[in-house]
Structure 1
Amino acid sequence: MPITRLSIEPLKIPFKQAFVHASAVRAETESVLVTVTNANRVEGVGEGCPRHYVTGETVDSIERFIDIHREQWMAFASVHDLKNWASLHSSVIDQNPAAWCAVETAFLDVFGKEAGVPIEGLLGYPPLSGLFQYSAVLGTDSSRSFKKQLERYLAAGFTDFKVKVTGRLQDDCDKLERWASREDSPIRVRLDANNLWSDAQGAFSYLK
């Protein structure tokens, strides 16, 4: 079914509290939504999260990327067309990964809905099954808020955590101390520094 519309809009959802890590402080989401509509008025939606400190992308750069290629993409009629374009433009996709993520997932969504199958079926993969484990992400500048978040996650049954490192050693140690006395359940904690260190030695010295 022909594609009749491809649109993009910023997605800004306020957080109840600021989300903090070494590279940014956020009071709201910073994403884009791409919507693809076909002649049957079936819509597919994809999301991309540009991070200038990771890939160099911004909301504006995603909008420019889409404006450049929109006409080519609107000629897509199948997953084959999507895969073929991606294989021919791998270098430009590597420079705009968040933008392509939004576009690609929007097309997969609309093709899957039109065919009446989930995306894994559309791509020839077996249906999802089994149990899945999710990680809780803790990123806050307030010790009180951190404790409150942690208690909520633990009460919900989370055992896998990713903690955002701030670069303030005592604050980071205080956060990790909250797990030191817990022996009632297995807890897995990972640290996410978000480009805090410029080299391996800096990371080693801090973590030591």
Structure 2
Amino acid sequence: MKIARLTIYHIEIPFKRRFAHARAERTRSDSVVVKVSLENGLAGFGEGCPRSYVTGETAESVFSVIQDSKEKVASFSPANFAEALEILRSFRLDSEKKRPRLPSSNAARCALELALLDLSSKCFQRSFAEILETLLPQDVFQPPRPVRYSAVISTGSLSKQITTALAMRLFGFRQIKVKVEDSENDAKKLRLLRRTLGKKKEMRIDINQAFSFDQAVRFFEGISDLQVAGVEEPLVGQELERLKELKVRFGLPLIADESLVTLEDARYLAEGDLMDIFDIRLSKCGGLMPSAAIIEFALKNGIGYGLGSHVGETGILSAAGRWLASSVAGLKFLEGSYDRFLLKENITFPDITLGYGGKAPPLSGLGLGVNVDEEALETVATRKEEITF
């Protein structure tokens, strides 16, 4: 197998509705798609979602990193499936950082890794289930099974959040995550949302590192009786060391997202006993292989783990997330596959959007299990670079 071409796309797809949280507001997607092709036309696709406030990346920086990595892509020529996996296990980009809480190149690595895995799976006729059986600890790997996604309620007016909560309850979601941004008023909102959702629905709260320690204390005091399953990233980055004080004082499970980008971050959080659950996201964490390593670390250290997603992911990342979610036991929660509910158009087929109650079947076949509509990809691309080897 020898790569003949590397194509990089920056794509923006309008949303059907605005989505916002404490750190950002979005009305369209912002992804980088990578295509790697053989001379015979066989191709693999990958996707990364750069988030400057998470990994320090932008679409422009991801383009630069991938362009700078072209020699590594050109040299990717495994003789068999096992060799392909071995090469990708040690696949690092020159600009990746090794210390916690520094900018990384994880969205770029994710896009490249998924494209090369997609291509390798097709070329060597081996499924993603076989890839994940190799990557995941034996304790948690399972043959792909149906999954159930949770819902997410964006920040916004109380009336819009109540309307969304009611719709999600009627749609049968069991788990709902609520984005909050106001330490003074959102506790009152959450009481009304809890009534709307009912006591049987599991509710998580996501603060996106928006509160100071004092703000978080006041907020936690206001929600202590609301049966909250977990609070995601309650403190600004400069006050992460005080997370343990919140844990001890209020006893609510804390979930790591922005503070968990690399395996080194996982170690830092575990050593300080700062978080109870890791929110793993493929793009944020650098792809399937680094994500599997974080799952293994969490398992060994008694830390829970769930699989999240970045708003606006296309069917490429949705498919990769589906493969991982359906193959790993013990997930505390699962997010993603919102495709047609959020995007005005998609670039993949068949449609793998979650169904009623968040239910979705496992994928099958070779590669990621979805096909890329290259005409649609070209339509939504705002930038394209092609490198021929």
TM range (shorter): 0.7 to 0.9
Q: Once the 2 structures are TM-superposed, how far is the Cα of residue 93 of structure 1 from its aligned partner?
A: 6.0
Alignment partners' CA distance in 2, 1:28 and 1:146: 20
Q: Once the 2 structures are TM-superposed, how far is the Cα of residue 39 of structure 1 from its aligned partner?
A: 2.5
State the one-letter code of the partner of 2:130.
G
Percent identity over the alignment?
Answer: 32
Q: How does 1:142-181 map to 2 (within 5 A)?
A: 142-167=157-182, 169-171=184-186, 173-180=188-195
State the one-letter code of the partner of 2:113.
E
Counterpart among 83, 88, 91 of residue 82 in structure 1? 88
Please identify, of 29-38 and 126-135, the stretch whose mean Cα deviation from structure 2 is larger: 126-135
Structure 1 match to 2:50 = 50
Q: Once the 2 structures are TM-superposed, how far is the Cα of residue 146 of structure 1 from its aligned partner?
A: 2.4
Q: How does 1:87-126 map to 2 (within 5 A)?
A: 92=96, 95-125=104-134
Distance of aligned partners of 1:65 and 1:176 in 2 relative to their CA distance in 1, 3 Å threshold: farther
Q: Once the 2 structures are TM-superposed, how far is the Cα of residue 172 of structure 1 from its aligned partner?
A: 5.2
Counterpart among 133, 148, 159 of residue 133 in structure 1? 148
2:183–2:219 Cα contact (<8 Å) kept:
no
Number of equivalences: 204
Distance of aligned partners of 1:176 and 1:5 in 2 relative to their CA distance in 1, 3 Å threshold: farther
Distance of aligned partners of 1:188 and 1:73 in 2 relative to their CA distance in 1, 3 Å threshold: same
CA-to-aligned-CA distance 1:154-190 (integer Å, 9 cap, x gap): 222101011111226324532441223654x621111
Please identify, of 40-49 and 59-68, the stretch whose mean Cα deviation from structure 2 is larger: 40-49
Asked if 1:188 is matched to 2:202, the reply is yes
1:121–1:127 Cα contact (<8 Å) kept:
no
CA-to-aligned-CA distance 1:19-62 (integer Å, 9 cap, x gap): 01000111111111111112231221111111111111111110
1:143–1:175 Cα contact (<8 Å) kept:
no
Alignment partners' CA distance in 2, 1:44 and 1:131: 25
The runs of 5 or more residues in structure 2 that have no matched partner are: 78-83, 99-103, 135-140, 222-389
Structure 2 match to 1:203 = 216
Distance of aligned partners of 1:35 and 1:93 in 2 relative to their CA distance in 1, 3 Å threshold: farther
2:155–2:180 Cα contact (<8 Å) kept:
no
Alignment partners' CA distance in 2, 1:172 and 1:118: 46
State the TM-score, normalizing by the size of structure 2.
0.48
Alignment partners' CA distance in 1, 2:178 and 2:165: 10
1:36–1:107 Cα contact (<8 Å) kept:
yes
Alignment partners' CA distance in 2, 1:16 and 1:168: 28
Q: How does 1:54-65 map to 2 (within 5 A)?
A: 54-65=54-65
Q: Once the 2 structures are TM-superposed, how far is the Cα of residue 111 of structure 1 from its aligned partner?
A: 0.7
State the one-letter code of the partner of 1:155.
L
Alignment partners' CA distance in 2, 1:100 and 1:25: 25
Alignment partners' CA distance in 2, 1:71 and 1:63: 14
Greater RCO (CA < 8 Å, at least 6 residues apart): 2
Distance of aligned partners of 1:66 and 1:91 in 2 relative to their CA distance in 1, 3 Å threshold: closer
2:9–2:34 Cα contact (<8 Å) kept:
yes
Q: Once the 2 structures are TM-superposed, how far is the Cα of residue 142 of structure 1 from its aligned partner?
A: 3.4
State the TM-score, normalizing by the size of structure 1.
0.86
1:18–1:140 Cα contact (<8 Å) kept:
no
Alignment RMSD (CA, Å): 2.4
Alignment partners' CA distance in 2, 1:165 and 1:17: 18
Please identify, of 124-133 and 26-35, the stretch whose mean Cα deviation from structure 2 is larger: 124-133
